[in-house]
Amino acid sequence: MINSHPVINRWLTNRDRINHSLCVGIDPDMDKLPDTFPKTIDGMEQFLIHVIESTQEDCISYKPNMAFFEAMGIEGLRLLERLCKRIPDAIPIIMDGKRGDIGNTSKMQAKFIFDYFGADASTLHPYMGSDSLRPFFEYKDKMHFVLGLTSNPGSQDFEKKNMADGQPLYHTVIKQCIEWNQDYGNIGMVVGATHDELANVREIAEQLPFLIPGVGAQGGTYSHASDKGKNLDGLVLINASRAVLYPSKGISHTQAIHSIIKS
Protein backbone atom coordinates (compact mmCIF):
# COMPACT_ATOMS: atom_id res chain seq x y z
CA MET A 1 0.00 0.00 0.00
CA ILE A 2 1.44 3.35 -1.06
CA ASN A 3 -0.83 5.72 0.86
CA SER A 4 -1.62 4.95 4.51
CA HIS A 5 -4.06 7.78 5.24
CA PRO A 6 -6.71 6.52 7.72
CA VAL A 7 -9.69 7.39 5.50
CA ILE A 8 -8.05 5.80 2.47
CA ASN A 9 -7.43 2.68 4.54
CA ARG A 10 -11.15 2.47 5.32
CA TRP A 11 -12.03 2.81 1.64
CA LEU A 12 -9.54 0.09 0.74
CA THR A 13 -10.94 -2.18 3.45
CA ASN A 14 -14.47 -1.65 2.14
CA ARG A 15 -13.37 -2.25 -1.44
CA ASP A 16 -11.74 -5.54 -0.47
CA ARG A 17 -14.82 -6.56 1.50
CA ILE A 18 -17.41 -5.90 -1.23
CA ASN A 19 -15.13 -6.35 -4.25
CA HIS A 20 -16.18 -3.12 -5.97
CA SER A 21 -15.74 0.64 -5.55
CA LEU A 22 -19.21 2.15 -5.77
CA CYS A 23 -19.99 5.20 -3.65
CA VAL A 24 -23.66 5.99 -3.05
CA GLY A 25 -24.57 9.64 -3.52
CA ILE A 26 -27.39 10.91 -1.32
CA ASP A 27 -29.36 13.57 -3.22
CA PRO A 28 -32.77 13.82 -1.53
CA ASP A 29 -35.38 15.19 -3.93
CA MET A 30 -38.93 15.47 -2.62
CA ASP A 31 -40.29 15.27 -6.18
CA LYS A 32 -38.63 11.87 -6.64
CA LEU A 33 -39.61 10.44 -3.26
CA PRO A 34 -41.40 7.10 -3.79
CA ASP A 35 -45.17 7.18 -3.21
CA THR A 36 -44.80 4.76 -0.30
CA PHE A 37 -43.30 7.59 1.78
CA PRO A 38 -45.09 10.84 2.75
CA LYS A 39 -43.69 13.92 1.04
CA THR A 40 -42.49 15.49 4.26
CA ILE A 41 -39.18 15.80 6.09
CA ASP A 42 -40.16 12.77 8.17
CA GLY A 43 -41.03 10.83 5.03
CA MET A 44 -37.71 11.76 3.44
CA GLU A 45 -35.89 10.67 6.59
CA GLN A 46 -37.64 7.31 6.57
CA PHE A 47 -36.71 6.87 2.91
CA LEU A 48 -33.04 7.80 3.36
CA ILE A 49 -32.67 5.56 6.40
CA HIS A 50 -34.15 2.76 4.30
CA VAL A 51 -31.59 3.49 1.57
CA ILE A 52 -28.69 3.40 4.03
CA GLU A 53 -29.88 0.24 5.72
CA SER A 54 -30.33 -1.38 2.31
CA THR A 55 -26.94 -0.39 0.89
CA GLN A 56 -24.48 -0.18 3.79
CA GLU A 57 -23.20 -3.68 3.17
CA ASP A 58 -22.67 -2.95 -0.51
CA CYS A 59 -20.95 0.43 -0.91
CA ILE A 60 -17.51 1.85 -0.27
CA SER A 61 -18.66 5.31 0.87
CA TYR A 62 -21.62 7.69 1.08
CA LYS A 63 -21.67 11.15 -0.50
CA PRO A 64 -24.44 13.44 0.77
CA ASN A 65 -24.93 16.45 -1.51
CA MET A 66 -25.40 19.40 0.85
CA ALA A 67 -27.39 21.48 -1.64
CA PHE A 68 -30.26 18.97 -1.67
CA PHE A 69 -30.51 19.16 2.11
CA GLU A 70 -30.09 22.96 2.15
CA ALA A 71 -33.00 23.24 -0.29
CA MET A 72 -35.26 21.84 2.44
CA GLY A 73 -34.25 24.65 4.81
CA ILE A 74 -33.03 24.31 8.39
CA GLU A 75 -35.00 21.06 8.81
CA GLY A 76 -33.10 19.67 5.86
CA LEU A 77 -29.78 20.41 7.56
CA ARG A 78 -31.05 18.82 10.76
CA LEU A 79 -32.00 15.80 8.70
CA LEU A 80 -28.46 15.69 7.28
CA GLU A 81 -27.07 15.83 10.82
CA ARG A 82 -29.23 12.89 11.93
CA LEU A 83 -28.44 10.95 8.79
CA CYS A 84 -24.68 11.29 9.28
CA LYS A 85 -25.10 9.72 12.71
CA ARG A 86 -26.94 6.75 11.17
CA ILE A 87 -24.13 5.90 8.74
CA PRO A 88 -21.82 3.19 10.16
CA ASP A 89 -18.37 4.44 11.20
CA ALA A 90 -16.72 1.97 8.83
CA ILE A 91 -18.22 3.78 5.82
CA PRO A 92 -16.60 7.20 5.26
CA ILE A 93 -18.84 10.18 4.55
CA ILE A 94 -17.84 12.47 1.68
CA MET A 95 -19.64 15.76 2.29
CA ASP A 96 -20.26 17.14 -1.18
CA GLY A 97 -20.44 20.88 -0.58
CA LYS A 98 -17.95 22.10 -3.21
CA ARG A 99 -16.57 24.71 -0.84
CA GLY A 100 -13.57 27.06 -1.21
CA ASP A 101 -13.65 30.76 -0.33
CA ILE A 102 -11.30 33.37 1.16
CA GLY A 103 -9.26 31.90 3.99
CA ASN A 104 -11.31 32.92 7.04
CA THR A 105 -14.60 31.95 5.36
CA SER A 106 -13.11 28.67 4.21
CA LYS A 107 -12.02 27.97 7.77
CA MET A 108 -15.65 28.29 8.90
CA GLN A 109 -16.84 26.08 6.04
CA ALA A 110 -14.37 23.38 7.05
CA LYS A 111 -15.43 23.66 10.68
CA PHE A 112 -19.09 23.17 9.68
CA ILE A 113 -18.38 20.10 7.56
CA PHE A 114 -15.91 18.35 9.85
CA ASP A 115 -16.49 19.56 13.41
CA TYR A 116 -20.28 19.78 13.20
CA PHE A 117 -21.28 17.00 10.80
CA GLY A 118 -18.25 14.80 11.43
CA ALA A 119 -17.64 14.13 7.73
CA ASP A 120 -14.57 12.24 6.59
CA ALA A 121 -14.00 14.04 3.29
CA SER A 122 -14.96 17.19 1.39
CA THR A 123 -15.26 18.43 -2.19
CA LEU A 124 -13.60 21.75 -3.05
CA HIS A 125 -13.44 24.44 -5.75
CA PRO A 126 -9.83 25.33 -6.65
CA TYR A 127 -10.55 28.63 -8.45
CA MET A 128 -9.51 30.93 -5.58
CA GLY A 129 -6.22 29.15 -4.97
CA SER A 130 -4.23 27.76 -2.08
CA ASP A 131 -5.35 30.12 0.71
CA SER A 132 -8.99 29.13 0.06
CA LEU A 133 -8.18 25.41 0.31
CA ARG A 134 -5.56 25.33 3.06
CA PRO A 135 -8.08 25.45 5.94
CA PHE A 136 -9.49 22.18 4.61
CA PHE A 137 -6.13 20.55 3.90
CA GLU A 138 -5.07 21.32 7.48
CA TYR A 139 -7.63 18.78 8.64
CA LYS A 140 -4.93 16.17 8.13
CA ASP A 141 -7.07 13.20 9.17
CA LYS A 142 -9.68 14.06 6.51
CA MET A 143 -9.59 13.69 2.72
CA HIS A 144 -10.29 16.51 0.25
CA PHE A 145 -11.38 16.10 -3.37
CA VAL A 146 -10.57 19.12 -5.54
CA LEU A 147 -12.60 19.65 -8.72
CA GLY A 148 -10.35 18.73 -11.61
CA LEU A 149 -12.30 17.73 -14.71
CA THR A 150 -16.04 17.67 -14.09
CA SER A 151 -18.71 15.82 -16.06
CA ASN A 152 -21.00 18.77 -16.81
CA PRO A 153 -21.11 20.41 -20.28
CA GLY A 154 -19.81 23.69 -18.84
CA SER A 155 -16.41 22.09 -18.24
CA GLN A 156 -15.65 23.40 -21.72
CA ASP A 157 -15.91 27.01 -20.49
CA PHE A 158 -12.84 26.99 -18.23
CA GLU A 159 -11.52 23.53 -17.37
CA LYS A 160 -10.74 22.55 -20.96
CA LYS A 161 -9.48 25.95 -22.13
CA ASN A 162 -5.86 25.74 -23.25
CA MET A 163 -3.26 27.69 -21.32
CA ALA A 164 -0.13 29.36 -22.72
CA ASP A 165 1.73 26.02 -22.64
CA GLY A 166 -0.93 24.46 -24.88
CA GLN A 167 -2.33 22.27 -22.09
CA PRO A 168 -5.88 22.64 -20.74
CA LEU A 169 -6.49 24.42 -17.45
CA TYR A 170 -7.42 21.19 -15.69
CA HIS A 171 -3.84 19.96 -16.24
CA THR A 172 -2.59 22.94 -14.23
CA VAL A 173 -5.09 22.26 -11.45
CA ILE A 174 -4.16 18.59 -11.21
CA LYS A 175 -0.41 19.25 -11.22
CA GLN A 176 -0.85 21.85 -8.50
CA CYS A 177 -2.83 19.37 -6.42
CA ILE A 178 -0.02 16.84 -6.77
CA GLU A 179 2.37 19.47 -5.42
CA TRP A 180 0.06 20.35 -2.52
CA ASN A 181 -0.37 16.67 -1.73
CA GLN A 182 3.36 16.36 -1.11
CA ASP A 183 2.86 18.65 1.88
CA TYR A 184 -0.52 17.43 3.12
CA GLY A 185 -0.98 13.85 1.91
CA ASN A 186 -4.77 14.06 1.95
CA ILE A 187 -5.77 15.40 -1.47
CA GLY A 188 -7.78 13.72 -4.22
CA MET A 189 -9.43 14.86 -7.44
CA VAL A 190 -12.97 14.94 -8.81
CA VAL A 191 -12.85 13.62 -12.38
CA GLY A 192 -16.02 12.95 -14.37
CA ALA A 193 -16.75 9.47 -15.69
CA THR A 194 -18.22 10.80 -18.93
CA HIS A 195 -14.91 12.19 -20.22
CA ASP A 196 -12.57 10.36 -22.59
CA GLU A 197 -9.71 12.19 -20.83
CA LEU A 198 -10.03 10.06 -17.68
CA ALA A 199 -7.10 7.83 -18.65
CA ASN A 200 -5.00 10.87 -19.51
CA VAL A 201 -5.76 12.46 -16.15
CA ARG A 202 -4.75 9.26 -14.39
CA GLU A 203 -1.42 9.30 -16.24
CA ILE A 204 -0.77 12.79 -14.87
CA ALA A 205 -1.75 11.86 -11.30
CA GLU A 206 -0.88 8.21 -10.79
CA GLN A 207 -1.48 8.15 -7.04
CA LEU A 208 -4.11 10.75 -6.12
CA PRO A 209 -7.45 9.08 -5.34
CA PHE A 210 -10.22 10.00 -7.78
CA LEU A 211 -13.85 10.61 -6.91
CA ILE A 212 -15.66 9.91 -10.17
CA PRO A 213 -19.24 11.15 -10.67
CA GLY A 214 -21.25 10.71 -13.84
CA VAL A 215 -21.98 6.97 -13.61
CA GLY A 216 -25.57 5.83 -14.02
CA ALA A 217 -28.07 8.59 -14.76
CA GLN A 218 -25.43 10.82 -16.40
CA GLY A 219 -24.35 8.11 -18.83
CA GLY A 220 -20.91 7.06 -17.59
CA THR A 221 -20.16 3.36 -17.09
CA TYR A 222 -18.71 1.72 -14.02
CA SER A 223 -16.32 -0.46 -16.02
CA HIS A 224 -14.74 2.52 -17.78
CA ALA A 225 -14.42 4.52 -14.56
CA SER A 226 -12.94 1.56 -12.71
CA ASP A 227 -10.53 0.54 -15.45
CA LYS A 228 -9.21 4.04 -16.17
CA GLY A 229 -9.61 5.67 -12.76
CA LYS A 230 -7.77 3.40 -10.30
CA ASN A 231 -4.64 4.74 -8.67
CA LEU A 232 -1.51 2.74 -7.82
CA ASP A 233 -3.30 1.26 -4.81
CA GLY A 234 -6.17 0.16 -7.04
CA LEU A 235 -8.41 2.71 -5.35
CA VAL A 236 -11.14 4.72 -7.03
CA LEU A 237 -14.46 6.03 -5.71
CA ILE A 238 -17.16 5.76 -8.36
CA ASN A 239 -20.29 7.66 -7.41
CA ALA A 240 -23.86 6.92 -8.41
CA SER A 241 -26.71 8.93 -6.92
CA ARG A 242 -30.05 9.00 -8.75
CA ALA A 243 -29.60 5.54 -10.27
CA VAL A 244 -29.32 4.01 -6.77
CA LEU A 245 -31.74 6.24 -4.85
CA TYR A 246 -34.52 6.24 -7.44
CA PRO A 247 -34.26 3.02 -9.48
CA SER A 248 -36.95 1.79 -11.84
CA LYS A 249 -40.08 0.42 -10.26
CA GLY A 250 -39.61 -3.09 -8.90
CA ILE A 251 -35.82 -2.77 -8.60
CA SER A 252 -34.28 -2.55 -5.14
CA HIS A 253 -31.43 -0.22 -4.23
CA THR A 254 -29.08 -3.19 -3.94
CA GLN A 255 -30.16 -4.53 -7.33
CA ALA A 256 -29.51 -1.07 -8.77
CA ILE A 257 -25.98 -1.12 -7.34
CA HIS A 258 -25.23 -4.50 -8.93
CA SER A 259 -26.69 -3.39 -12.23
CA ILE A 260 -24.41 -0.34 -12.22
CA ILE A 261 -21.22 -2.25 -11.42
CA LYS A 262 -21.95 -4.56 -14.35
CA SER A 263 -22.15 -1.58 -16.75
Q: Is residue 262 among the annotated active site residues?
A: no
DSSP state of 251: -
CA proximity to 17, closest of 66, 65, 74, 60? 60
Is residue 7 a contact partner of residue 141, using CB atoms and an 8 Å limit?
Answer: yes
* Catalytic entry in 98, 140, 230, 262: 98
E strands, the chain, are: 22-26, 61-64, 94-99, 121-124, 143-149, 187-191, 210-212, 237-240
How far apart are the C-alpha atoms of 58 and 104, rounded to whole Å? 38
Cα torsion angle, 136, 137, 141, 145, sign: positive
What's the half-sphere exposure (Cβ side, CA atoms, 13 Å) at 42?
Answer: 1
Q: Hey, what's the torsion of the CAs at 240, 242, 245, 246, to 10 degrees?
A: -140
Say whether 172 sits in a helix, a strand or coil.
helix
How far apart are the C-alpha atoms of 174 and 170, rounded to whole Å? 6
How far apart are the C-alpha atoms of 81 and 132, rounded to whole Å? 25
CA–centroid distance for 34 within its chain: 24
Catalytic residue numbers?
A: 98
